[in-house]
Amino acid sequence: MSENTQSQELDWDELKPQLIKLALELGPLVLFFILNSRAGIFVATGWFMGAMVISLLLSWLILKRVAVMPLVTGVVVLIFGGLTLWLQDDTFIKLKPTIVNILFGGVLLGGLLFGQSLLKYVFGDVYKLKPEGWRILTWRWTIFFFVLAAINEIVWRNFSTDFWVAFKVWGIMPLTLVFSFALVVPILTKYAPDAEEKA
């Protein structure tokens, strides 16, 4: 019984930072969605920019680190959000997910072309995988980022701003979760290092 209790506590300790990261990433998006429906895209963009800065600061204060992906996303949000407000043109904030996903996909692809699985440098302290596992995982994330960029382009160019905002908040996250469970989790299991390699 005590072993079960200890394992549950261990699981919670491992899960807690991930839940905090998820909340810090979802918070600005949910705020963006709510304010867009009540005050319009420009007000929502301004608050979204502020919320991203606060989210990054809280990540630094609570988790003692800021992950690369949220940091890059935050910088792009500030740049394209600033252009949106300055020029009063919502095209820029709509392009932000496309730019971010192409940037991530392009960097990962560049690493692969040079024989490097760059995901290992980002997540190597969290996940332990054999080299082939890192390569497959990096390819899958590369393709997924490019697919997300294409989906964003299709949605913002063919649907209303309200639909795009709703899809950005309530469509992309479920797609990412499905992708993770279907195509990422099996790799983490299949290519986990053997006991001798871990030692």
Q: pLDDT per residue over 39-79, tens digit each?
A: 999 999 999 999 999 999 988 888 787 778 888 889 999 99
Query: For residue 165, which of 99, 103, 70, 96 has the smallest C-alpha distance?
Result: 96
Q: Enter the tokens of residue 91.
A: 């095209």
Rounded to two decimals, the pTM is: 0.81
Query: For residue 168, which of 29, 55, 25, 21 has the smallest C-alpha distance?
Result: 29
With beta carbons less than 8 A apart as the criterion, state whether 137 and 123 touch: no
pLDDT at 5 over 50: no
With beta carbons less than 8 A apart as the criterion, state whether 85 and 42 touch: yes
Domain total for the chain? 1
Over residues 96-116, mean pLDDT: 94
Asked whether residue 107 is assigned to any structural domain, the reply reads: yes
With beta carbons less than 8 A apart as the criterion, state whether 96 and 80 touch: yes
Asked whether residue 132 is assigned to any structural domain, the reply reads: yes
DSSP, res 181:
I
Asked whether residue 199 is assigned to any structural domain, the reply reads: no
- When mean pLDDT is compared over 7-11, 33-37, 69-73, 119-123, the highest value belongs to 33-37
**Cα torsion 175, 176, 178, 183: sign:** positive
In which region does residue 67 sit, left (phi positive, over 0), alpha (psi from -120 to 50) or beta (all else)?
Answer: beta
With beta carbons less than 8 A apart as the criterion, state whether 63 and 17 touch: yes
Asked whether residue 77 is assigned to any structural domain, the reply reads: yes
Q: What domain range includes position 166?
A: 2-194
Helices and strands in the chain: count of H runs, count of E runs: 10, 0
Asked whether residue 180 is assigned to any structural domain, the reply reads: yes
What are the angstrom distances between the C-alpha of 182 and each of 176, 178, 179, 185?
10, 6, 5, 7
State the pLDDT confidence band at 131, using cuts at 50, 70 and 90: confident
How many other CB atoms are found less than 10 A from the CB of residue 16? 11
Instruction: Supply the pLDDT for residue 2.
Output: 46
The distance of Cα 101 from the centroid of its chain, to the nearest Å, equals 9
